[in-house]
Structure formats: structure tokens, C-alpha cells
Structure 1
Amino acid sequence: MLRHDAVRDAELLLLPERVVVLSDTAAQILRLCDGDRDVSAIVGELEARYPGAPVAAEAPRFLDRVRGEGWLR
């Protein structure tokens, strides 16, 4: 579950018995993980938002890491 912590002004990923403080970029990527978009759709959305950024290489790598940690199915 994603939450914004107003006290810290930070994005948080709430997991069972764990809280992960996310960067703004990480939170934006995870918000796109809605069950309808696949990785290519997420990359496409991010490329539209951030032209010229290395999204095609970095976003899938981040999502693989997040899945590996068990934070995302």
C-alpha cells in the first residue's frame, strides 16, 4: 500500500511489518502498477512524462528488483 507521510513529506510503501521510504520516482512508478498496465505500458507512460530520461532501461530493472523483494506481485 502506498501512502504519503505528511510529517516526513515522503512517499511510503507499507508492507507487513515493514515500511519503505520511496523516492518520488519510485513512488510514481509503483503508482502505475495498477494491475491493468504491463511493464511496456508503464515504460510508455513514463517516457511520455519524462522525454529523454533513461526510462526504458531503468524502470524494468527497478520493477524486477521490487518483485524480487516481494513488494510487488
Structure 2
Amino acid sequence: MADSAAVGVAAGSVPRFRRGFRFQWEPVQNGYVLLYPEGMVKLNESAGAILREVDGQRSVQDIVSALEQAFPEAGSLADDVNEFLQHAREQHWIELS
């Protein structure tokens, strides 16, 4: 049986924050954070931009498209977004359906 970490993120998957996790702008941190019962993760600018698009309704492909429109100078972002979402899933920040 394959390790779930090696499976990757399907373009049609819909990411949502796991129960107990809250994504928000934190003025004191001057950045986006992910709050959860045991603590907080301060996110870098790229992670904040990706997670800002996670609403539990849009697919990974929709998120990639939105980010590519917002940052046209970056070119294709699919690999970077997929890699980050896989990391977020491994950290148990998000679920995919």
C-alpha cells in the first residue's frame, strides 16, 4: 500500500481547513497565521496567498487559476500550489475531498 504522503493532490480536490483550525490576518504578526487549539503557525507570504483562496468550495485547479491571475508574472503555479497543499495536508491543517 502506498504512503498517503506520496499520493499528491488531485486538481479536482477541494481543500478545506480541518475542524479547529482558523486562518486569519494577524496585525501583531504582520501576516497571515493559522490558529489551532495547540498553538499558531505564522505563514510566509506565499502560504498566506494560497490559504487565502481555500474556502471549502473551490477545487485545487480553481485556486491555481485564481493565483495565476493574481500573480501573472509568476507563470505556472500548479506545482508550487500542489506542493504546498500536500505539505498542509501532511501537517493536518487541511482536508481534501
Partner of 2:31: 10
Q: Shift of the alpha carbon at 1:4?
A: 1.9
Unaligned runs of 5+ in 2: 1-21
TM-score (norm 2): 0.68
CA RMSD, aligned part only?
1.3
Q: Shift of the alpha carbon at 1:47?
A: 0.6
Q: Shift of the alpha carbon at 1:24?
A: 2.0
Structure 2: which amino acid aligns with 1:20? V
TM-score (norm 1): 0.88
The reply on whether 1:72 has 2:94 as its aligned counterpart is: yes
Which of structures 1 and 2 has the bigger CA Rg? 2
Structure 2: which amino acid aligns with 1:23? N
SS at match of 2:47: helix
Mapped to 1, the partners of 2:28 and 2:73 lie a distance apart of: 33
Unaligned runs of 5+ in 1: none
Q: Deviations over 1:7-61 (max 9, x none)?
A: 2212110012020000122112112111111111100111111114141210111
Q: Shift of the alpha carbon at 1:71?
A: 0.3
The structure with the largest helix share of the pair is 1
Structure 1: 4+ residue segments shifted above 2 A: none
SS at match of 2:94: coil
